[in-house]
A and B are shown apart, each in its own frame.
Chain A
Amino acid sequence: MGDATAVIGVGQTKYSAARDDVSMPGLVREAALRALEDAGLSFADIDAVVLGKAPDVFEGVMMPELFLADALGAAGKPMFRVHTAGSVGGSTALVAASLVQGGIHERVLTVAFEKQSESDTMWALAPKIPFNPPVVAGAGGYFAPHIREYIRRTNAPDHIGMKVAVKDRLNALKNPYAHLQIPDISLESVMASPMLWDPIRYLETCPSSDGACAMVLASEDAATRAPNPPAWIHATAMRSEPIAVAGRDEVSPQAGLDCAADLYGQAGITDPRSEIDVVEMYVPFSWYEPMWLENLGFAEEGGGWKMVDDDATTLEGELPVDPSGGVLSSNAIGASGMIRFAEAALQVRGMAGEHQVDGARIGMGHAYGGGSQFFAMWIVGREKP
């Protein structure tokens, strides 16, 4: 809903375990300047800045948007900070888009980042909160039981997760920004890697990355004057549900189902599998690809792993999923959702480089967070809706 809005600039940093060469301001500025260059703009052209990142304890700076205002050219402008758990990169893009859709601004710079090397994410994710069960094993320990339940329900064979891990890492070889570059990855090497949280092996989990992603969002008038092709926003949706409510399905959460239904309704999509050309999906552990394929309506229950098994989600497949290499190849947590949204935009702009999906016209960006309870999604297209 709202006014027509488009992505006219995308910028990413190289993702790696530790970007020791830059400070936090340097990191966000690197992504922001690349997005501005893509859009043919400078900081002076920007009306507002929207920043997103995951918990502040990941870097040890409280509300870091305050000190990053200088590096992002925000002085004298509105500066906004979003935090919605792992989905935050996606939510941040949606909040930024909302400013244009609501007619408030013409050009909004949105940036999401994480510099995990500043702190210890496993420690930060494992606080002892009174009367709450501790998540002492970090995110993998939290999600592994959900994956086991998916396998129990659908009788998915063991190799499905490993196939996703290989596919995403091969895709990452075509993405110069991707953190993990593992040219010799194979089913055998994934199987031989240590089991971290059964059934998640070392090579089936995301890395811990530093990095930032930025986009310039523009009104119709500003988009038509952009030097490169815009990606038009066809639909946006977000949904949240409590972490614990009786009857909640953590494997295929209602919030994900509702969010996708809202999204497809806005975009006029009735058969997502045939109408969407490429999906950038938030898959931090390999098994989440088949799980989200079902939650997002690309397959019936139990059909997600069959799509993986049939190679439907490879770069050349029927529905390419994570051609960028996905979260499995780069996970700057707060940025990971925005990277999904930005990569979907690059695909429909025809600017994805070596990992471009041929003829992609409709792309989907997906992010989730918390205990599979926060969802943010958008659909972007080559044509104005």
Chain B
Amino acid sequence: MPRPVAIVGFAQSGSLRRDDRNEPEMIAPVVTEALERSGVPRREIGFTCSGSSDFLAGQPFSFVAGLDAIGAWPPIRESHVEMDGAWALYEAWVRLQHGDLDSALVYGFGRSSMGDLGEVLSLQLDPYTVGPLWPDAVSLAALQARALIDTGRADERALAEVAARSRRDAASNPHAQVTGDHDPEALLREPYVADPLRKHDLPPISDGAAAIVLAAGDLVAKVAQRPVWIRGIDHRIEAHSLGARDLTRSPSTTLAGHRAGVHEATPDLAELYAPFSHQELILRDALGLPDGVTINPSGGALSANPIMAAGLVRIGEAASRLAANGASRAIAHATSGPCLQQNLVCVLDTEAA
């Protein structure tokens, strides 16, 4: 039985197509806000972990400047993952399992505006056999969407409905980048970007940052009136080779979800990191989420997609809704790699530990 760990603070920057602040300028206010909301003093944080990508920033060691933003003096216990901040949260959760530390600060940040995102993400592919063909992320997602539609489990209208709902829900999210009240029928009259995907099926390109404060042990009751507990968390990867996978399924999400305890009770809501509309349908299937579960009330990644922070934002958004008394159980999900290669699932609830 893992040690109960609670989310006691969350903050995010607004997502912008281009945020002209540098990384420390983006991180500092978000970290400060998350710490203030948590009530855990900065100097008492036991462990710090961040997630970001050098290739987004266009420079080596881009995370080093993050230390300038968080006040790492005197020196701190700190680590960094070249992954979405959701995996930084996982590392911090594992560290809190040791039992000697009771709090952790986690943050993720990314500025997709620094380069040509399509070209940058192509560099994630096998550099010997796939990368030299320069397939961009949108084209790969379109192949996945086509495969899904060909199974008969979805059609273009279902994709448009996901997009319309997401942009409509995003209207009440002050951090969203793309909002709107769209009729799915009207969306379906728009031209393709990459058949069968239209512009509404694609995420915006975003700059953004997010931070979460975790607490464990006696500290939780001291700082949180309604703590949101991490009931289970797990992540799994699949083979990289696109030809070796059934792109219409996400077995790594299913396995991670099972190990995180998704099946133990029906959640009230799920925040799924589905950068493309059809991926939400694949993820709902993979997690076995029944109708009636509110999906992506924040508007999801179709409304704001700060890569390297967007997965952490899903966890924060889900926790915020639980903390606000509106719901008691939520699923949060993060993804990484082309066509949902790697997935993390986190189960949150507000019941006493």
Selecting from B154-162, B235-243, B271-279, B322-330, the interface stretch reads B235-243
Bound complex: CA A165 to CA B238 (Å) = 45
The answer to the question of A352 belonging to the interface, with a C-beta cut-off of 8 Å to chain B, is no
The answer to the question of A183 belonging to the interface, with a C-beta cut-off of 8 Å to chain B, is no
Contact partner, B76, options A59, A67, A103, A239, Cβ 8 Å? A239
> Which residues of B lie under 8 Å from residue A77 when comparing CB positions?
236-237
The answer to the question of A83 belonging to the interface, with a C-beta cut-off of 8 Å to chain B, is yes
The answer to the question of A44 belonging to the interface, with a C-beta cut-off of 8 Å to chain B, is no
The answer to the question of A89 belonging to the interface, with a C-beta cut-off of 8 Å to chain B, is no
> Which residues of B lie under 8 Å from residue A248 when comparing CB positions?
73
Q: Judge whether A78 and B234 touch: CB under 8 Å.
A: yes
Q: Judge whether A124 and B87 touch: CB under 8 Å.
A: no
Kindly identify, within residues 211 to 269 of chain B, every residue whose CB is under 8 Å from any CB belonging to chain A.
234-241, 244, 251-252, 255
Q: How far is the CB of A239 from chain B (nearest CB, A)?
A: 4
> Which residues of B lie under 8 Å from residue A243 when comparing CB positions?
64, 67-68
Given contacts A70-B239, A102-B95, A243-B68, is CB(A62)–CB(B121) below 8 Å?
yes
Q: Judge whether A370 and B91 touch: CB under 8 Å.
A: no
Chain A interface main SS type: loop
Residue on B with the closest CB to A241? B75
Q: How far is the CB of B64 from chain A (nearest CB, A)?
A: 5
Contact partner, B97, options A2, A81, A374, Cβ 8 Å? A2
The answer to the question of B123 belonging to the interface, with a C-beta cut-off of 8 Å to chain A, is yes
Bound complex: CA A269 to CA B183 (Å) = 69
Residue on A with the closest CB to B131? A61
Bound complex: CA A138 to CA B316 (Å) = 39
Q: How far is the CB of B147 from chain A (nearest CB, A)?
A: 19
Q: How far is the CB of B61 from chain A (nearest CB, A)?
A: 6
Q: Judge whether A57 and B55 touch: CB under 8 Å.
A: yes
Give the size range of A's interface with the partner: 35 or more
Given contacts A57-B54, A124-B60, is CB(A242)–CB(B239) below 8 Å?
no
Q: Judge whether B78 and A75 touch: CB under 8 Å.
A: no
Bound complex: CA A253 to CA B237 (Å) = 38
The answer to the question of B120 belonging to the interface, with a C-beta cut-off of 8 Å to chain A, is yes
Bound complex: CA A111 to CA B235 (Å) = 18
Q: Judge whether A75 and B239 touch: CB under 8 Å.
A: yes
> Which residues of A lie under 8 Å from residue B251 when comparing CB positions?
76
Bound complex: CA A1 to CA B101 (Å) = 10
Residue on A with the closest CB to B69? A242
The answer to the question of A32 belonging to the interface, with a C-beta cut-off of 8 Å to chain B, is no
Contact partner, A82, options B82, B236, B239, B341, Cβ 8 Å? B82
Residue on A with the closest CB to B337? A66
Kindly identify, within residues 227 to 275 of chain A, every residue whose CB is under 8 Å from any CB belonging to chain B.
237-245, 248, 253-255, 258-259
Selecting from A91-99, A195-203, A310-318, the interface stretch reads A91-99
Q: Judge whether B94 and A99 touch: CB under 8 Å.
A: yes
Contact partner, A81, options B63, B82, B121, B123, Cβ 8 Å? B82
17 contacts between A and B (CB under 8 A): A1-B98, A55-B54, A56-B53, A61-B124, A63-B55, A66-B342, A69-B239, A80-B87, A80-B91, A83-B82, A99-B94, A127-B58, A238-B77, A238-B79, A240-B76, A242-B73, A255-B75
